[in-house]
């Protein structure tokens, strides 16, 4: 589970010795995020985002538990309860703004974490299971965020619930009964609000559970690194503590500065003003869009405006779910034995000039009005999105000639490695 040169945990006093023999929890922490976990010495700041995501999960749970102490999931009072938190509860405004912006920052760091995985092919053997669990975490995050957004019972809350549960109506035959069952009524109301609150409280703990599996799976092969060359020797690694506790701590400080600027100076920028209007089942806001972190998938949903064998609505729903489910197949769609984009010239071009502009376009288009030219642009971007994962990636990973890899991480960092024999190149790490 770890490299043979990993430092061993030694209890420093009698109490810790006593504890170690009965419940070796300090040993577990030492081996997981302490000096007992050897990590590649060349990790860049792109490797900060896992720890940052863990931080924001904890922040969301702490602020969320506090908010739940002052909230009530009853459609007649929920909207007023949020205002009560904002105006009357001591520090309530800070808790709510931290929770609302915390969700956005959680998604920002998770998106960067995912795109790090795309560029460095972190999903490749032997790390497939880490990747699959990560996609599961992302799906759970989306469900949790959606249900949380319904709780303030503003106009965007209500119509978001209406639109998202309406997705299930696209399922042939059983769609309408499923929607009624999910909502516990014919439209979002008390029943829906209560069950969303219950599940919004539950799911973060499920996420925490899957995160533990994600980290467990990570510790079997150990962390990947920017060269994509596997660890070969002790000189390729440094202990997690103090090296990466310090590096992650610095990154956390930078992110918290930006987070504080948002919470204290611009807390509503990432939200929608319409959500400060109480839910009204008889009037739809002029522009219904989800929170920004759902925009790419919302753009894909709206891109289907024509029937082709199946109704347009069903295509939209299928494509939206497929856009995330395709990530589950990524370890097998990318067939190159080389991991890092730094050594894959063709892949690198399609990443920076294909996938990234495509995702940026989808982010923009998901928040735009449903009218031309945005619909057509969404259709083009959606087509390219699937083309990238299902066609371009398998083809370029088969035909491209990768650039020479360093013999080891040590060689990549120091320029030479005494263990590297003259004229040998490292076997592709696979």
Partner 1 sequence: MADTTGTATSDMVADTGADGIRRRDFINIAAISAAGVGGVGVVLPLVSQMSPSADVLAESSTEVDVSAIQPGQAIKAVFRKQPLFVRRLTQKEIDEANAVSAGDLRDAETLAERTKEGHQDLLVTMGVCTHLGCVPLGAAEGENKGEFGGYFCPCHGSHYDTAGRIRKGPAPTNLLVPEYAFTSDTVIKVG
What's the rounded Cα separation, in Å, for the pair 186 and 58?
35
Binding segment for partner 1 (CB under 8 A), chosen from 130-138, 196-204, 281-289, 421-429, is 281-289
Binding segment for partner 1 (CB under 8 A), chosen from 126-134, 161-169, 196-204, 360-368, is 161-169
Which of 155, 165, 223, 235 lies at the binding interface for partner 1 (CB under 8 A)? 165
Q: Nearest approach, Cβ of 280 to partner 1 (angstroms)?
A: 9
Which of 94, 284, 326, 337 lies at the binding interface for partner 1 (CB under 8 A)? 284
203 lies in the binding site for partner 1 (CB under 8 A): no
- The structure tokens listed for 8 are 């061993």
What's the rounded Cα separation, in Å, for the pair 155 and 278?
6
Q: Nearest approach, Cβ of 144 to partner 1 (angstroms)?
A: 18
Three-state secondary structure call for residue 39: strand
Cβ proximity to partner 1, 120 vs 315, nearer residue: 315
In degrees and rounded to multiples of 5, residue 87 shows phi and psi of: -105, -35
Which of 20, 128, 189, 278 lies at the binding interface for partner 1 (CB under 8 A)? 189
Q: Nearest approach, Cβ of 302 to partner 1 (angstroms)?
A: 5
Which of 297, 304, 350, 407 lies at the binding interface for partner 1 (CB under 8 A)? 304
What's the rounded Cα separation, in Å, for the pair 272 and 258?
20
What's the rounded Cα separation, in Å, for the pair 131 and 122?
7
Residue list 94-153, contact with partner 1 (CB under 8 A): none
Which of 65, 191, 212, 387 lies at the binding interface for partner 1 (CB under 8 A)? 191
> Which residue in this structure is represented by tokens 């080389």?
338
> Which residue in this structure is represented by tokens 């490749």?
124
Which DSSP symbol is given to 272? -
Kindly determine how many residues on this chain lie close enough to bind partner 1 according to the rule CB under 8 A. 37
Cβ proximity to partner 1, 69 vs 310, nearer residue: 310
In order of 7, 60, 100, 373, 394, the CA distances from 286 in angstroms are 60, 30, 23, 18, 42
Contacts of 228 (CB under 8 A, 6+ apart): 120, 121, 338, 339, 340, 342, 343, 405, 429
Which of 70, 169, 208, 219 lies at the binding interface for partner 1 (CB under 8 A)? 169
Contacts 24+ apart (CB under 8 A), 196-202: 196/73, 196/147, 196/150, 196/151, 196/161, 197/68, 197/71, 197/73, 197/147, 197/151, 198/73, 199/143, 199/144, 199/147, 200/64, 200/144, 200/147, 200/148, 200/151, 201/64, 201/68
What's the rounded Cα separation, in Å, for the pair 178 and 159?
18
In order of 51, 58, 135, the CA distances from 253 in angstroms are 12, 16, 27
Q: What is the CA radius of gyration of the chain?
A: 24
Which of 187, 387, 390, 414 lies at the binding interface for partner 1 (CB under 8 A)? 187
Asked if 9 and 27 touch (Cβ cutoff 8 Å), the reply is yes
Binding segment for partner 1 (CB under 8 A), chosen from 252-260, 298-306, 360-368, 382-390, is 298-306
Cβ proximity to partner 1, 53 vs 289, nearer residue: 289
Which of 104, 162, 382, 410 lies at the binding interface for partner 1 (CB under 8 A)? 162
Q: Nearest approach, Cβ of 393 to partner 1 (angstroms)?
A: 29
> Which residue in this structure is represented by tokens 């010795």?
17
CA 283 to chain centre: 33
Cβ proximity to partner 1, 309 vs 422, nearer residue: 309
Binding segment for partner 1 (CB under 8 A), chosen from 43-51, 228-236, 278-286, 384-392, is 278-286
- The structure tokens listed for 347 are 């892949």
370 to 399: interface string for partner 1, x by CB under 8 A: xx---x------------------------
Which of 241, 313, 335, 348 lies at the binding interface for partner 1 (CB under 8 A)? 313
Which of 80, 126, 185, 373 lies at the binding interface for partner 1 (CB under 8 A)? 185
Q: Nearest approach, Cβ of 73 to partner 1 (angstroms)?
A: 15
221 lies in the binding site for partner 1 (CB under 8 A): no
Q: Nearest approach, Cβ of 278 to partner 1 (angstroms)?
A: 15
Which of 11, 221, 267, 311 lies at the binding interface for partner 1 (CB under 8 A)? 311
Active site residues: 219, 223, 247-248, 291
SS3 content of the chain, % helix, strand, coil (to 5): 65, 0, 30
157 lies in the binding site for partner 1 (CB under 8 A): no
Binding site for partner 1 (CB under 8 A): 159, 162-163, 165-167, 169-170, 180-182, 184-187, 189, 191, 195, 281-284, 286-288, 302, 304-305, 307, 311-314, 316, 370-371, 375
């Amino acid at each position: 589970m770890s490299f043979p040169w990993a430092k061993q945990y030694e209890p420093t006093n009698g109490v810790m010795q006593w504890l170690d023999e009965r419940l070796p929890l300090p040993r577990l922490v030492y081996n997981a995020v302490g000096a007992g976990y050897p990590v590649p010495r060349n990790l860049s700041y792109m490797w900060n985002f896992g720890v940052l995501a863990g931080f924001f999960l904890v922040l969301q749970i702490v602020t969320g538990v506090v908010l739940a102490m002052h909230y009530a999931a009853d459609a007649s009072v929920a909207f007023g309860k949020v205002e009560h938190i904002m105006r009357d509860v001591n520090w309530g405004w800070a808790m709510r703004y931290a929770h609302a912006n915390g969700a956005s920052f959680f998604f920002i760091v998770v998106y960067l974490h995912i795109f790090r995985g795309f560029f460095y092919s972190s999903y490749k053997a032997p790390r497939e299971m880490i990747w699959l669990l990560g996609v599961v975490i992302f799906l759970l995050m989306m469900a949790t965020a959606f249900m949380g957004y319904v709780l303030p019972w503003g106009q965007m809350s209500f119509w978001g619930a209406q639109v998202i549960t309406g997705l299930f109506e696209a399922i042939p035959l059983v769609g309408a009964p499923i929607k009624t069952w999910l909502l516990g009524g014919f439209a979002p109301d008390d029943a829906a609000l209560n069950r969303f609150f219950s599940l919004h409280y539950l799911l973060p703990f499920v996420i925490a559970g899957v995160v533990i599996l994600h980290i467990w799976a990570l510790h079997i092969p150990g962390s990947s690194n920017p060269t994509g060359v596997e660890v070969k020797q002790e000189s390729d690694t440094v202990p997690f503590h103090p090296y990466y506790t310090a590096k992650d701590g610095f990154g956390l400080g930078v992110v918290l500065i930006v987070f504080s600027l948002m919470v204290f100076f611009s807390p509503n920028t990432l939200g929608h003003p319409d959500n400060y209007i109480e839910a009204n089942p008889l009037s739809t806001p002029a522009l219904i869009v989800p929170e920004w972190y759902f925009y790419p998938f919302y753009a894909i949903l709206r891109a289907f405006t024509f029937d082709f064998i199946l109704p347009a609505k069903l295509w939209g729903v299928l494509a939206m779910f497929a856009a995330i489910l395709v990530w589950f197949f990524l370890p097998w769609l990318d067939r190159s034995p080389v991991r890092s984009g730094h050594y894959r010239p063709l892949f690198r071009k399609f990443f920076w000039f294909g996938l990234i502009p495509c995702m940026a376009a989808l982010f923009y288009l998901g928040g735009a009005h449903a009218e031309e030219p945005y619909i057509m642009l969404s259709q083009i971007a959606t087509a390219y999105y699937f083309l990238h994962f299902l066609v371009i990636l398998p083809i370029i990973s088969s035909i491209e000639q990768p650039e020479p890899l360093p013999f080891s991480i040590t060689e990549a960092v120091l320029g030479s490695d005494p263990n590297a024999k003259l004229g040998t190149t490292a076997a592709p790490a696979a």
